[in-house]
Amino acid sequence: MPGSRALLTVALTVCCIGPAVAEDAPACASFAWSVARDRAAFAASDLPVLASGSTLPADTRAVQVTLKPAAEVMLSVQSERTAKPGTFAGFIRATVPAAGTYQLTLSDDAWIDVSQDGRTTLKPERISGKAGCPEVRKSLRFALDAGPVTIEIGRAPNPQIKLDLFPAE
């Protein structure tokens, strides 16, 4: 009988949890490119937390950024979008090791500006966003040169947001 109980437990788990996983799969699978790597990075139990203004460590590609009320943040590059009252903003710096196309992904809805010269923002090559994917809301691809990059986040509805920067697959 112990084997029967184990089998019943597995069957109930599949019946009850399986549909919930299947429900979020269509939204996550409908991005223009795979966000599986991003979902896994955001789900990590040891995801580093960085304050706005911090630098992404060289060996880290995904973090949770602590933002500030937008009215308290001075961004170095003028955003294309003005801050909305009641939203949060911030920025992090990173170093791109080699020129190429990089994927910048956010866990929640927010506006992103990327700059490599400290004066102008770069236009993304492509943008893909889907509501209904619990771990990922938006993913953008940028052509970046090797060197420093500033990632500005604005219009975020919450003071915490997960962000990653990976070479595009």
Whether 8 is in a domain gets the answer no
Whether 68 is in a domain gets the answer yes
Rg (CA), the chain: 19
Taking Cα atoms as reference points, which of 46, 45, 65, 62 lies closest to residue 54?
A: 65
Whether 16 is in a domain gets the answer no
Confidence check: pLDDT of 3 > 70: no
Q: Would you state the structure tokens that stand for residue 136, as one six-digit string?
A: 């990922």
* Residue 137 buriedness (CB in 10 A; 0-12 / 13-18 / 19+): buried
Question: What pLDDT shows up at residue 124?
Answer: 97
Whether 82 is in a domain gets the answer yes
Whether 126 is in a domain gets the answer yes
Whether 120 is in a domain gets the answer yes
- Provide the number of structural domains found in the chain: 1
Question: Which pLDDT band holds residue 16 (cuts at 50, 70, 90)?
Answer: very low
Whether 153 is in a domain gets the answer yes
The enclosing domain of 127 has a CATH number of: 2.60.120
- Give the separation between CA 68 and CA 85, rounded to whole angstroms: 12
- Give the separation between CA 101 and CA 104, rounded to whole angstroms: 10
Mean pLDDT rounded to a whole number for the chain: 86
User: How crowded is the C-beta side of 58, counted as CA atoms within 13 Å?
Assistant: 4
Range of the domain at 74: 31-167
Whether 41 is in a domain gets the answer yes
